[in-house]
Amino acid sequence: MSSTPVTWFEIGSDRPDEAQRFYAELFGWSFEEQAGPGGSYRQTDAGGARGIGGAIRGTDSGADNYAIFYAQVVDVAESCRQAEKAGGTVVASPVTTPTGLTHARLRDPSGNLLGVFTPPAGG
């Protein structure tokens, strides 16, 4: 049994209104816009207690759209080192937000994007 749960997802879209409408109609998800730098970020609980949370991030027009899952880890920097040791690459180095969330993006050896994060202390 793994101790590294997948607890978050993110969908990047250059048409976030359309993406939000699609997932709301398909799965009944509701979204709430989160104020912050970097444009639109719309969070959803995506299934309540049985599902994982996630968000739609608005991207620049013409940017690549994506879907990514995030695994919750104890140490983001160590997870980046382990990913490289296992043949992956670090796409975005660890960053800590003002709220204390630390995250990074990785690419597995076959090219798939994934993320790792550590929540803020006490949250």
Domain boundaries, the chain: 6-118
103 close to 114: Cβ distance less than 8 angstroms:
no
Output the pTM of the full model: 0.75
Give the model's pLDDT for residue 122. 80
Residue 88 has pLDDT above 70, yes or no: yes
71 close to 114: Cβ distance less than 8 angstroms:
yes
pLDDT tens-digit readout, 48-58: 677 788 999 99
Give the model's pLDDT for residue 123. 64
Give the model's pLDDT for residue 47. 63
Residue with the bigger pLDDT between 6 and 51: it is 6
Sequence-distant (≥ 6) Cβ neighbours of residue 8 within 8 angstroms:
52, 53, 54, 55, 69, 70, 72, 115, 117
May I ask the CATH class of domain 6-118?
A: alpha beta
Residues 27-42, mean pLDDT to the nearest whole number:
83
pLDDT tens-digit readout, 67-80: 999 999 999 999 99
